[in-house]
């Protein structure tokens, strides 16, 4: 009977992991719950960790924290369970719980890049200077241990994007620009990445000529770094060099012809000119494209686009529509009928 029980549990866990890996999170959650029925403590800890991870991804935060708290009781030496528990607590703004979970995870795995990055995000809420240093440490470890990045399937540009956003929010721009310059000098995969994000930071403080140079330097090192073309378009638009902006956006458009981002860039160009009819057409088309082909988070992370970019397009369209309606109301009957 125990053999059958173990076979059933292993089957359910294997199915749950396969479903989770394919992105069927709701189905995976159900499979993890089925595995709990016959699981013994060690197996139960694995099922609870998987269940908690799925609940976290689905936004069921209270449920995630509940099952992950049980998981770490059953397997207190499991850094992955502690990491997930910390993430759940952080999403729930339970800073004490997040702090304790991340500290425990790092005691068990002191140099785990994903845990250190999660802790840096936690520090950003309370200790921005510590978050900056923690983010730098994550990047240094990624460069020292590329095999660990691959093993964890950790998105290696994520800490760079994190530092860029932190720099803008906490006014660490000059310091971060200088550090990105140091990274660019390393002549590794991170060089064009650092130059691209350095350019975004420079553009954020109005240093547009320097930003353009940084993007061009990124393309010199890696001609396939397509995000730099879009970012060049944004910088040229802000400089009101509309021909250069159109040329840069056009290069990006040829590489990504069905991408919603492409349409947004041309819409921003039309708005800045301003060319209201063209802006309205492009932003409307952008919102339609976004529904069927939304860009991934890694793609957005490379681009000089604010977090409220979608809302910006919606607001501009709403204001444009309102002005058109008001103008129509202000036209007299003679002008409308032509009499």
Residue 17 or residue 5, greater confidence: 17
pLDDT tens-place string over residues 14-64: 999 999 999 999 999 999 998 888 888 888 999 999 999 999 999 999 999
pLDDT tens-place string over residues 266-314: 999 999 999 999 999 999 999 999 998 898 888 999 999 887 889 999 9
What whole-number distance in Å separates Cα of residue 118 and Cα of residue 162? 11
Q: What is the pLDDT of residue 328?
A: 55
Taking a C-beta distance cutoff of 8 angstroms, is the pair 317, 283 a contact?
yes
pLDDT tier at 79, thresholds 50, 70, 90: very high
pLDDT tier at 82, thresholds 50, 70, 90: very high
pLDDT at 119 over 50: yes
Q: What is the pLDDT of residue 336?
A: 43
What whole-number distance in Å separates Cα of residue 215 and Cα of residue 231? 7
Taking a C-beta distance cutoff of 8 angstroms, is the pair 54, 32 a contact?
yes
pLDDT at 103 over 80: yes
Q: What is the pLDDT of residue 338?
A: 43
Taking a C-beta distance cutoff of 8 angstroms, is the pair 204, 236 a contact?
no
pLDDT at 1 over 70: no
Instruction: Please compute, for residue 130, the number of CA atoms within 13 A of its CA located in the half-sphere on the CB side.
Output: 11
pLDDT tier at 337, thresholds 50, 70, 90: very low
The conformation of residue 303, written as its DSSP 8-state character, comes to S
Residue 328 or residue 303, greater confidence: 303
What whole-number distance in Å separates Cα of residue 23 and Cα of residue 219? 34
pLDDT at 232 over 90: yes
pLDDT tens-place string over residues 243-273: 999 999 999 999 999 899 999 999 999 999 9
Q: What is the pLDDT of residue 64?
A: 96
Q: What is the pLDDT of residue 339?
A: 39
Average pLDDT of every residue of the chain: 91
Q: What is the pLDDT of residue 220?
A: 96
Distance between alpha carbon 203 and the CA centroid of its chain, in Å?
20
Q: What is the pLDDT of residue 246?
A: 97
pLDDT at 224 over 70: yes
279's CB contacts (< 8 A; 6+ apart) are 267, 270, 271, 316, 320
**Cα torsion through 285, 291, 295, 297, rounded to 10:** 130
pLDDT tier at 66, thresholds 50, 70, 90: very high
Domains of the chain, first to last: 13-110 (1.25.40.10), 226-339 (1.25.40.10)
Q: What is the mean pLDDT of residues 115-127?
A: 94
Q: What is the pLDDT of residue 333?
A: 52
pLDDT tens-place string over residues 162-218: 999 999 999 999 999 999 999 999 989 999 999 999 999 999 999 999 999 999 999
- Count of Cβ atoms closer than 10 Å to residue 224 Cβ: 8
Between 69-73, 125-129, 332-336, the lowest mean confidence (pLDDT) is in: 332-336
């Amino acid at each position: 009977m125990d053999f059958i029980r173990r076979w059933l549990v292993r089957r359910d866990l294997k199915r749950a992991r396969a479903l989770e890996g394919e992105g069927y999170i709701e189905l995976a959650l159900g499979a993890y719950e089925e595995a709990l029925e016959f699981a013994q403590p060690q197996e139960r800890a694995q099922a609870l960790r998987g269940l908690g991870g799925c609940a976290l991804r689905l936004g069921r935060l209270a449920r995630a924290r509940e099952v992950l708290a049980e998981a770490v009781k059953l397997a207190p030496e499991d850094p992955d369970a502690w990491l997930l528990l910390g993430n759940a607590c952080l999403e729930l703004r339970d800073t004490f719980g997040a702090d304790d979970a991340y500290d425990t995870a790092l005691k068990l795995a002191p140099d785990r890049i994903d845990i250190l990055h999660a802790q840096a995000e936690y520090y950003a809420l309370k200790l921005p200077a510590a978050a900056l240093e923690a983010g730098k440490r994550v990047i240094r470890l990624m460069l020292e241990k590329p095999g660990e990045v691959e093993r964890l399937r950790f998105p290696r540009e994520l800490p760079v994007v994190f530092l860029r956003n932190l720099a803008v929010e906490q006014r660490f721009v000059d310091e971060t620009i200088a550090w990105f310059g140091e990274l660019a000098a390393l002549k590794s995969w991170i060089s064009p990445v650092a130059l691209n994000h350095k350019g975004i930071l420079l553009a954020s403080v109005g240093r547009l000529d320097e930003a353009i140079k940084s993007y061009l330097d990124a393309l010199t090192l890696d001609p396939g770094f397509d995000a730099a073309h879009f970012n060049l378009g944004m910088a040229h638009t802000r400089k009101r060099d509309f021909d250069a902006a159109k040329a840069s956006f056009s290069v990006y458009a040829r590489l990504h012809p069905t991408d919603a981002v492409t349409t947004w860039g041309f819409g921003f160009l039309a708005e800045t000119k301003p060319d209201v009819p063209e802006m309205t057409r492009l932003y409307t088309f952008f919102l339609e494209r976004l529904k069927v082909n939304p860009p991934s988070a890694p793609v957005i992370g490379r681009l000089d686009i604010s977090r409220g970019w979608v809302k910006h397009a919606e607001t501009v369209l709403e204001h444009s529509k309102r002005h058109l309606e008001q103008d129509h109301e202000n036209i007299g009957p003679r002008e409308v009928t032509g009499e």
